[in-house]
Structure 1
Amino acid sequence: MTADRSLRLTRGATVWLTGLSGAGKSTVAGAVATLVSGDGADTEVEVLDGDEIRQTISSDLGFSRADRDKQGRRVGFIAELLSRHRVLTLVPVIAPYAETRQAVRERHAERGSAFFEVYVATPLQECARRDPKGLYARAAAGEIKGLTGVDDVYEHPESPDLEVDTSSVSPEIAADRILTMLREHGVLEYAETSVSF
């Protein structure tokens, strides 16, 4: 008989990944979910992707400042609800306004739910080079207006809980840093389990 170590979630938590389009938010969130699930963790993990939310419960919203704020607060409401029910909730969204992100953080704090803001600080030039959705090319061609980071504002987090740049580290390394942060704050811990041969 030997001892095996697996991750265990001690409480629910929201990991809010903010950054420009193409920064790698969804990729990093997916890597975190894979690492946690693949480790045999005793935990529930959900990824609330901003694009999927916009296609469903926020299909009525556009891209005005008011609508972007409302979108962020809606996602924040769902994230806090999941977090409160012992789910590790990963939220890869642009969420360009500091006021919106602060409101989501405060909602979590008021209800005793853990919240961590991760700034995926990949530079605009790299995001535009990747351009996975073709948005930067369309903006350059004048086909769309109001692209965050180009001709619309993105308010960089001043004091994020963690900052990663996927132009200098892989999504897996960024994900590992997030797991390290969660372990340091007691959200995740290693649990010894007995394995028989």
Structure 2
Amino acid sequence: MTAKNITWHQGISYEERISLRGQKGYTLWFTGLSGSGKSTIACALEELLLKKKYSVYRLDGDNIRFGLNKDLGFSEDDRNENIRRISEVSKLFADSCAISITSFISPYLKERNNARLLHEEVGLPFIEIFVDAPLHIVEERDPKGLYKKARAGEIKEFTGISAPYEKPVNPEIHIKSDENTIEESVDIIYKYLLDKKLL
């Protein structure tokens, strides 16, 4: 049911927050197959930015699916709702002038584009980071044993095996995690942010 009788109350603007906080807010949206390395790279980037005294927070399956989205499963509808909620939360973090890092498979182009539009409509930067690794590589890594279970039919609708992953068409940053180390990957992102004057 859609809420009625609600009114937006405009407070401090994004530009005023930038001036007061001394940093820009935006979302770094990591996408890629399970096992591609996106969460590992996101964690390392978060640590680097925190050490440099930036306000940054990482959203991932652990702090979202065990709390805000614990009522959602893994059907296509639930995955889409999961990403919709994450998009809204990351936008709020970005609007507060924090750097919001999201690390989710987010397999569908439409849902990632919706996340981008949600930010761009209010003037917030959105940077899509495609952490790319071939299926055979992520299956070899399989840190949680999920691909093995999916191949055995124990996990239904598993991205890359029994459910689709739609690769980004034109991401701001494309990292090939089978070719770049974690440190090199973080450096690529950090240099991009510097080049775009986001740090």
Which residue does 2:35 correspond to in 1? Answer: 22
Which residue does 1:34 correspond to in 2? Answer: 47
Q: Which runs of 5+ in 2 are unaligned?
A: 1-20
Which residue does 2:83 correspond to in 1? Answer: 72
Question: Of Structure 1 and Structure 2, which has the larger fraction of its residues in strand?
Answer: 1
Alpha-carbon separation, structure 2, partners of 1:114 and 1:9: 16
Per-residue deviation, 1:9: 6.4
**Aligned-partner residue type, residue 35 of structure 1:** L
| Superposed structure 1 runs of 4+ greater than 2 Å apart | none
Which residue does 1:191 correspond to in 2? Answer: none
**Aligned-partner residue type, residue 76 of structure 2:** R
Matches within 5 A, 1:19-168: 19-38=32-51, 40-41=52-53, 43-168=54-179
Q: Is the 8 A contact 1:44 1:88 kept in 2?
A: yes
Instruction: For CA contacts below 8 A with separation 6 or more, give which structure has more relative contact order.
Output: 1
Mark the CA change 1:117 to 1:54 in structure 2 (over 3 Å): closer, same or farther. Answer: same
Identity of aligned residues (%): 39
Mark the CA change 1:151 to 1:85 in structure 2 (over 3 Å): closer, same or farther. Answer: same
Question: Of Structure 1 and Structure 2, which has the larger fraction of its residues in helix?
Answer: 2
Per-residue deviation, 1:124: 1.0
TM-score (norm 1): 0.87
Alpha-carbon separation, structure 2, partners of 1:85 and 1:123: 36
SS at the partner of 2:101? strand
Q: Which runs of 5+ in 1 are unaligned?
A: 1-7, 189-197
SS at the partner of 1:113? coil
Alpha-carbon separation, structure 2, partners of 1:171 and 1:123: 17
Which residue does 2:189 correspond to in 1? Answer: 178
